[in-house]
A and B are shown apart, each in its own frame.
Chain A
Amino acid sequence: MKVAARPAAWIVWGIVGFFFVNLAGLVLSVVVSSFGKSWFDTWLPQGATTQWYGEAWRDFGLLPVLLTTLQVSALVVGLSVLVGVPASYVLARRAFPGRGVLYLLFLLPILMPPITYGIPLATVLYKYGFAGHLSGVVLANLVPSVPFVILTLTPFIEQIDPAIERAARMCGAGTRQVFVRILAPMLVPGILAASVLVLVRTVGMFELTFLTAGPESQTLVVALYNSMSAAGIRAQQSVDAMAVIYTGTMLVLLVVALRIVNPTQLVARVKEEDPT
């Protein structure tokens, strides 16, 4: 392309390059620090060690935290798909009075900052005894996840030819059969995409989990935040090691997600649903 020779292009790529160099430096500094012995006023730490990972794993009880994270995410993904799929089917296929209002209702939890609804939600969950336990964390995380599944899946369903369903109905299939035998198999890619994205969001969701979790029901982000904000208790390198573990986990999830969905297409599909 001849545009690449223009000065404007060089400036743009220069800025992108600068951003990436600094970003790489930032990430590398954490990785280096997590493997370093002691690191003060020098370019590199004085020696390499893996003790911080061992320390993080043991002292911090990383295994139960990872298990909680896994439990919470699995429950949130499962429940939000179960609840979201039928709703997105109706929203994709049917025109009925109040459809626009419903859409707005499902859009609101995504548009509001989690803290704004998280605080009253946490209060309500404490009132009924859910907060502080796994159930409270799961319930809170469902609030943005169910709408997210609905908004991601609706365009997928719109792409399926309704004639296929009509044909199935002609042959005597009921709604349940249409769902299980026709729609579910055709929707597998969409459901997978939505699940992986909900998974990434749930693992990374700080505010809602922070507001509703008890000591036994912290997920990785919250545990990590607590260990970092309580400065001085834990060696900085040990926090670095945990941060590397967290990012490694997220990276694996994201790579899996990118194999299933093309990020730009996905955003464009979500955009179509935006009534604003």
Chain B
Amino acid sequence: MAAATGTRVALRHRLAERGIDRQLLLLGPALLFVVVLFIYPFFYGIGLSFQPAEGGAFAAYRSFFTDAYERDTIATTLWLALPVALLNVGASVPIAYRMRGRFRGKRLLTTVLVVPITLGTVLTAQGLLNFLGPTGWFNRALMTSGVIEEPLRLTHNYWGVFFSLVITGFPFAFLLVLSYLSGIDPTLEKAAATLGAGWAQRFRRITLPLLAPGLATTFCLTFVLAFSVFPSAVLVGDPAGETRVISIAAWHAGYEQYDYSKASAIAVVMGLVELVVIAVVLGWRSLLYTGSTGGKG
């Protein structure tokens, strides 16, 4: 008995030395939540995707990949999400570059840039339909000033969804890029300037390499936002054709055809495609530069 208690105590000590003790129990509730509400449903979904009502284990996947109408949703989604994420990140860099220093109205400008986050999909969609529609202010102004004869068709197609994703994604990308950029120590650039480097050289050789990890992360996060587009693809897009994105396909399968197996299969495909893009981006940037960004972060 005494020996048994002895080994138990010793075991507890040995575990404690490696950092395992009762305090880790505080992790319990959070872990339970993630396991019960995320991991379990996730694997349940994967299992479900291999159990279609008929046609063998891979039938749901086969029907997705052999049907061009379904398969093309992957390309449609990528064709929306990749340009949007590139534009949002690309446009954020020069703007954030100008906003690094202190100047009057910086706080106001930051606040104004954050406001689009509050708009929500529906107000954005209604606004796009009102503003860019054939009789909206945008077309009206262009026609009155004589730039165009016929109103431009900018809603209920690819561009409507594109604009809606830029409006909701850009503020987010900008905030991230700005914070990464202000984390880079300005003395590095000053040192380069004293050595005679022009601004282009300084940007290419110093700022850009230091910013690359931040840009990769920002790209991934804005890509995830754009990739999961659903409501705006229905409201300002052309949900049966040009902007039939993959989440619409998943929703159709699950909640209109009640084919949960197929819906799960599409969700799995969607997650995989997204993870591949993220892995490519992160892998590519780790080829370029690995190390700390230096500044306060």
Contacts and interface: CB of A to CB of B under 8 A. Distances in A.
B284 interface: no
A247 B121 CA distance: 10
Contacts of B132: 26
Given A113-B224, A265-B179, A22 B131 contact: yes
A86 interface: yes
Given A113-B271, A119-B250, A26 B176 contact: no
Contacts of A276: 217, 220, 282
Nearest to A89: B26
B187 interface: no
A244 to B, nearest CB: 7
Interface residues of B toward A: which range?
Answer: 35 or more
29 contacts: A15-B95, A83-B29, A86-B26, A87-B27, A111-B220, A111-B278, A113-B247, A113-B274, A115-B251, A116-B267, A116-B268, A116-B274, A119-B264, A120-B41, A124-B40, A143-B38, A225-B122, A229-B234, A236-B126, A239-B122, A243-B120, A243-B126, A244-B123, A254-B115, A264-B178, A268-B180, A268-B183, A271-B179, A271-B214
Interface of A: 1, 3, 8-9, 12-13, 15-16, 19-20, 22-23, 25-27, 29-30, 33, 40-41, 43, 82-84, 86-87, 89-91, 94-97, 102, 105-106, 108-109, 111-117, 119-124, 139-140, 142-143, 146-147, 150, 175, 200, 204, 206-207, 211, 221, 224-225, 228-229, 236, 239-240, 242-244, 246-247, 250-251, 253-254, 258, 263-265, 267-268, 271-272, 274, 276
Interface of B: 18-20, 23-24, 26-27, 29-31, 33-34, 37-42, 44-46, 48, 91, 94-95, 98, 101, 103, 110-112, 114-128, 130-132, 135-138, 140, 167, 170, 175-176, 178-180, 182-183, 214, 217, 220, 224, 227-228, 230-231, 234-235, 247, 250-251, 254-255, 260, 263-264, 267-268, 270-271, 274, 278, 282, 296-297
